[in-house]
């Protein structure tokens, strides 16, 4: 082969590498709070050293659900003492979860009694089945929907004053702390254009408070409590995070937020400081529903 042919071959190979790289689509990237790129292993290491993880998902985002499963599986592989909690299960369904984990309830009956979400099969069942298989506690943390609805439609927190005694075991102890000036609650008011008013925000707050309550109630020493919730419930270190700190200022809490961008190679400034760690997902990613 002549020297010229050799150089030509090198150029062709180099162009092929560039073309291959250009064709690669990066579906997501991990960042810290300031927008610095981080590795998956660094994120797992940080999670293993905290008390509580609030994984803020987009409910219909497959990357969120895949990473939730992978993180939980890898933490278990690393012998981390783990409990899992989820916004998607209301506190009055805990008995159904427990029976199902003991194989005392058929799956079809469990789905009915637990009132699983429409996207349960694709998005949450793999995690719950993994917890069942590995004997990992799985905690229903959210307030039963009828009680949150009462707050919204029947006059705020006072609507809970007439509940039956057993119902108070299913919600955060009353009265709950409440600060309507939190930015997340103010944003809710702005987005609704005044419709729903303060009671809509209070309905959100009773959900946040109840999830924080059941997380702390079920948190054991030397354990990581891995909680699944919509991003809005923990973004900007508010929502569940704020209530956790109100109830126990010393508890260590790590937050993860999911965001969507056109380009995931750098974190847009508007998303910085949203959480301790941010998952930037390509905004064209397929949705689960």
Q: Which domain holds residue 95?
A: 28-278
Specify if 166 maps to a domain: yes
**Mean pLDDT confidence for 186-202:** 85
CB 276 within 8 A of CB 254: yes
Specify if 272 maps to a domain: yes
Give tens-digit pLDDT for 132-169: 999 999 999 999 999 999 999 999 999 999 999 999 99
pLDDT at 25: 83
Beta bridge partners of residue 261, listed in sequence order: 282
Specify if 23 maps to a domain: no
Specify if 273 maps to a domain: yes
pLDDT for residue 6 is more than 90: no
Specify if 254 maps to a domain: yes
**In Å, what is the CA distance from 70 to each residue of 73, 76, 130, 138, 221?**
5, 10, 11, 16, 24
CATH of residue 196's domain is 3.40.50.11550
**Mean pLDDT confidence for 27-50:** 98
pLDDT above 90: percentage of residues in the chain: 88
Specify if 135 maps to a domain: yes
Specify if 1 maps to a domain: no
The contacts of residue 107 (CB under 8 Å, 6+ apart) are 100
Cα separation of 153 and 131, whole Å? 36
pLDDT at 20: 45
pLDDT for residue 61 is more than 60: yes
**Mean pLDDT confidence for 113-130:** 98
Please tell me whether residue 226 adopts helix, strand or coil conformation. Answer: strand
pLDDT for residue 110 is more than 60: yes
Q: What share of residues in the chain are helix, strand, coil (percent, to 5)?
A: 50, 15, 35
**Mean pLDDT confidence for 19-29:** 72
Give tens-digit pLDDT for 239-280: 999 999 999 999 999 999 999 999 999 999 999 999 999 999
pLDDT at 195: 64
Q: How many domains does the chain have?
A: 1
Specify if 17 maps to a domain: no
The whole-chain average pLDDT of the chain stands at 93
């Amino acid at each position: 082969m002549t020297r010229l042919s050799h150089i030509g071959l090198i150029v062709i190979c180099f162009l092929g590498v560039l073309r291959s790289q250009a064709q690669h689509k990066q579906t997501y990237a991990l960042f810290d709070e300031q927008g610095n790129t981080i590795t998956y292993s660094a994120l797992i290491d940080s999670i293993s050293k905290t008390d509580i993880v609030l994984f803020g998902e987009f409910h219909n985002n497959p990357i969120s659900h895949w990473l939730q499963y992978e993180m939980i599986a890898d933490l278990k592989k690393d012998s981390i003492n783990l409990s899992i909690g989820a916004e998607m299960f209301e506190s009055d369904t805990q008995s159904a979860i427990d029976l199902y984990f003991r194989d005392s309830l058929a799956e079809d009956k469990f789905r009915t009694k637990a009132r699983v979400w429409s996207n349960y099969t694709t998005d949450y069942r793999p995690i719950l089945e993994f917890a069942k298989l590995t004997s990992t506690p799985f905690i229903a943390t959210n307030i039963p929907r009828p009680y949150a609805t009462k707050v919204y439609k029947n006059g705020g927190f006072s609507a809970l004053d007439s509940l039956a005694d057993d119902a108070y075991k299913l919600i955060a102890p009353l009265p709950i702390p409440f600060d309507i000036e939190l930015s997340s609650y103010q944003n809710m008011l702005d987005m609704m254009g005044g419709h729903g008013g303060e009671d809509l925000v209070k309905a959100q707050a009773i959900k946040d408070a109840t999830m924080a309550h059941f997380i702390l109630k079920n948190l054991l020493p030397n354990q990581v409590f891995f909680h699944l919730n919509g991003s809005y419930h923990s973004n900007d270190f508010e929502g569940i995070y704020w209530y956790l700190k109100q109830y126990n200022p010393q508890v260590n809490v790590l937050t993860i937020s999911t965001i969507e961008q056109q380009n995931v190679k750098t974190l847009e400034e508007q998303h910085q400081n949203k959480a301790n760690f941010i998952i930037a997902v390509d905004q064209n990613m397929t949705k689960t529903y």
